[in-house]
Amino acid sequence: MKQTLRATHLAELGERLEGKVRDIYLRPRDVVLVATDRHSSFDRIIAYVPGKGEVLNRLSAYWFEQTQDIVPNHVLALPDPNVTVAKRCTPLPIEAVMRGYLSGVTGTSLWTRYEKGERDFGSFRLPDGMRKNEKLRAPAFTPSTKEKDHDRNVTPQEIVETGLMARDLLARVEDVSRRLFLRGQELARARGLILVDTKYEFGLDADGALTLIDEVHTPDSSRYWQADSYQARIARGEEPEYFDKEFLRLWFMDHCDPYHDATLPEAPADMVEELSRRYAAIFTQLTGEAVSATEENIEERIRRNFAAYLRRAS
């Protein structure tokens, strides 16, 4: 049975910070990012999904490599399937959200806002008469703020006027985001997938260069639909065939109050197994590679691989 990486405690890697999904180790000249199998929703951990951390780490590595001609990224090395050694960067204060379709169900999504009558989205307008999940004439740049509770939609003009970012840097971020998104759509389509929307994180490196950081085009940061069934399903008024992790979230909503209960029930084993299978399946569809089948202790493997990396680097 494949092991699950819930957390790491690798003092030899540096000072440890814990994010929702990643354990972050700070070192003098770089940062070590360990992608765990934690699954976050409702601003808390609701499950541990075997293989998820490896999928996020390796899929990001794949996309970083496929887009390095567009913008530099933070990757220095991948000493382990779950580990990225990255340049230390100063994160920019916005998330660069790109949308290719009129879709979504949250309060900040294009479709929700469009359905309520909104047509002017700050830097672009949408015509009347569009249908849910319809392709936009051109990808839309819809940045958001990074806030503790919930991200907030913000227009490019508001970003500049409030002093969040300088106009020239924001223009660079938007240009790079569009090019990254178009590249992602192109390569995903070649693998039978539609990249619907995504978000990018950028930072400035020690020399002030714009750098792509965090993760890229993963199932956690992006939405994917199967391309071959899209037209027929839309014509029938059905939802596109999509990578779905929502079923586990809905189970918790049906069985507890996940926002307020002090203790949550344990996620059903069959649902966790199915979610693990789905992460592995989309990874393979995008990259043509398989997720590791190893049954060894992942933390010990990371410790061994990182020590070997340090020996090679010295």
Domains 11-90+268-313 and 93-206+215-235 share a fold: no
pLDDT on residue 246: 87
Q: What ranges in the chain are assigned the alpha helix state H? A: 52-66, 110-115, 156-161, 167-190, 230-235, 246-255, 269-287, 298-313
- State in Å, rounded, how far the first CA of the chain is from the last one: 36
Q: What is the mean pLDDT of the chain?
A: 95
pLDDT on residue 285: 98
- Which CATH number applies to 11-90+268-313? 3.30.200.20
Q: Are 154 and 145 in contact (CB under 8 A)?
A: yes
pLDDT on residue 104: 87
pLDDT on residue 149: 60
Residue 247's Cβ-count burial label (10 Å; 0-12, 13-18, 19+) is exposed
How many CB atoms within 10 Å of residue 31? 21
Q: Enter the pTM of the model.
A: 0.95
User: What is the three-class DSSP state of 39?
Assistant: strand
Q: Are 222 and 214 in contact (CB under 8 A)?
A: no
User: What is the three-class DSSP state of 266?
Assistant: coil
Measured between alpha carbons, how far is 157 from 245 in angstroms, rounded to an integer? 34
User: What is the three-class DSSP state of 70?
Assistant: coil
Phi and psi based region of residue 175 (left: phi greater than 0; alpha: psi -120 to 50; beta: remaining):
alpha
Q: Where are the domains of the chain?
A: 11-90+268-313, 93-206+215-235
Pair of tokens at residue 115 = 């359905």
Counting as low any pLDDT under 50, the low residues of the chain are none
pLDDT tens, position by position, 192-229: 999 999 999 999 999 999 999 999 999 999 999 999 99
| CATH of the structural domain 93-206+215-235, one choice from 3.40.50.300, 3.40.50.720, 3.10.20.30, 3.30.470.20 | 3.30.470.20
pLDDT on residue 150: 63
> Among all chains, which residue has been given the structure tokens 């020690």?
206
